[in-house]
Chain A
């Protein structure tokens, strides 16, 4: 891979420290009644890397993502992000902390256009006060235009120009996934959590998505966790891999080691 497009200038004035995304998950356990979804799972995400979480069905991958993004609350263990304990924070507070996500089953707003879907994600970046909004002061107008510029950069990046005014419900599945990635990018997260970004895609769509994710990581420096099943994709994009099985961590390491790990081969790769 070469000649990545660089990060657009509208983002470039950000402080370098705003890229920092150090996530430490320590001994997280989650159970639903008698079902132990996660048992003492620990992992570490470092700034600038792509961590892939793999495992068979029901291994607890999505549960782990939901714990990290605040949709589930683990019974034991702690999750620390950039030195701050985020175990008990709610999803909307985590967005402010800098964790953005996509969902396994697309959770877009189907009746809205692609653009208004993405505009929603700018919510936490809107700084104007309530009274300013009521009177639609010039500064509100300026800020709205600025948000729109940011979105246009993301639209350019993800090649969504042709569909920006289309309602999401009218789009094919693969494009919806791409729009959802765009919406998560509009949150400007430090850590992007992608829950099965390649699920249900055709080969071409997967190739496009791999290109976007690699470019996002290498040119924009975006830190990511992603859940994935397709081993060839995992091998080609991830910095490190964590393998889950029945709620427990089976292995962790660089892709080359994981693919040769006898435990992983027995449990997952077959």
Chain B
């Protein structure tokens, strides 16, 4: 029988395969399995519709954040255009579903591929530009895409927006928050697993090499520019799939949500969650989405309370302020993000209760 590993106090690995596993310990694997089972068997039936809506939003946003983490955290290329890429995915799926009556199973991956192509186009400047300059170039991408989405009204219906048909998957009519929960989370888990796989093979290693030392990476036989483009493509694919799911979920889409603020929000997720850490992107997505909801709830409540009414109006921009503050606090106190906080917290249990 296979020996189970819970919390070994040393390295007792005997085979090289053991270093290629996703989970370090069987304990982690057990908890993750339990977590997934609980997620699918319990959450949709226990959660209120509003909570379920928040959870679904987290699922969608986390897909995009995992993708952006591949680009920012692993490859070291900062993109300020991910809000727009998310929009390209949403519009891609919407146009395919309304014009050509593509089913969901085809429209979502196709939207991802379209976004991957668009992302590669806006990744082209990375052949010459590095760091801040590349960030500004992707910022241009954000505005170009927004402009195109608004003004190419023969396809995108401009400011009118597009209403999507109710989705169905091989005869299964996806209805309501519970239905979408069972669509979004399997996709999210699948895409997270694929990202983890990618990062433990030569592609992930090449990305990290480019981030850390591109001169040495080239000396190791890694073609820098094609891999940067690949990273842009993968990351945009994730954004596109997330956008497509978002389009189906919100039913009717307009160009408004896909603005620069959304791009910044995604970057905030990656930074707060922990750059170059898969779990970090998910933590970041949870944190930012929940923070968003709390702030919305807070400002709403203030506006409804007589004396604070006018103050509530003034407080609305406070959301951005709190956002910025959260990023700054994390950069100063925990630059490795929530993932590191989680790791420290977890490892404090390792020797519990006899820690020194």
What is A's interface to B at a CB cutoff of 8 Å?
A: 69, 71, 90-93, 95-96, 101, 103, 107-112, 116, 119-124, 126, 128, 130, 133-136, 140-141, 144-145, 148-149, 165, 183, 187
Contacts and interface: CB of A to CB of B under 8 A. Distances in A.
A148 B201 CA distance: 12
Nearest to B199: A133
Q: What are the 10 tightest A-B residue pairs by CB atom distance, in nearest-first order? A: A95-B221, A107-B216, A133-B201, A124-B221, A126-B202, A136-B197, A148-B16, A109-B212, A91-B218, A145-B16
Given A133-B198, A136-B200, A148-B16, A123 B219 contact: no
Contact of B213 (A107, A135, A140): A107
A103 B110 CA distance: 45
B262 to A, nearest CB: 27
B143 interface: no
Contacts of A92: 218-224
A108 B216 contact: yes
A148 B19 CA distance: 10
Interface in B10-28: 11, 16-17, 19-20
A119 B220 CA distance: 10
Contacts of A119: 205
B220 A120 contact: yes
A69 B203 CA distance: 23
A112 B20 contact: no
A92 B209 CA distance: 13
Contacts of B219: 69, 71, 91-92, 95, 101, 103, 107
A123 B218 contact: no
A237 B269 CA distance: 55
Contact of A95 (B197, B203, B209, B220): B220
B244 interface: no
A120 B223 contact: no
B216 A116 contact: no
Interface in B133-182: none
A242 B251 CA distance: 73
B20 A123 contact: no
B194 interface: yes
B78 interface: no
Nearest to B215: A107
B90 interface: no
A268 B285 CA distance: 63
Contact of B198 (A108, A134, A141, A149): A134
A90 B213 CA distance: 17
Given A92-B223, A96-B221, A123-B222, A140 B201 contact: yes
18 contacts: A71-B215, A90-B218, A103-B216, A107-B213, A108-B213, A109-B208, A109-B212, A109-B213, A109-B216, A120-B206, A120-B222, A122-B202, A123-B221, A135-B194, A135-B197, A144-B201, A145-B20, A148-B16
A22 B219 CA distance: 20
Contacts of A149: 16
B224 to A, nearest CB: 7
Contacts of B206: 120, 123
Contacts of A148: 16, 19
Nearest to A126: B202
Contacts of A107: 213, 215-216, 219
A140 B199 CA distance: 13
Given A91-B218, A123-B222, A134-B194, 6 more contacts: A92-B218, A92-B222, A101-B219, A120-B209, A133-B202, A144-B16
Contacts of A96: 221
A37 B20 CA distance: 47
Nearest to B276: A111
A128 B201 contact: yes
A128 B206 CA distance: 14
A132 to B, nearest CB: 8
B197 A133 contact: yes
Contact of B205 (A69, A120, A130): A120
Contacts of B202: 122-123, 126, 128, 133
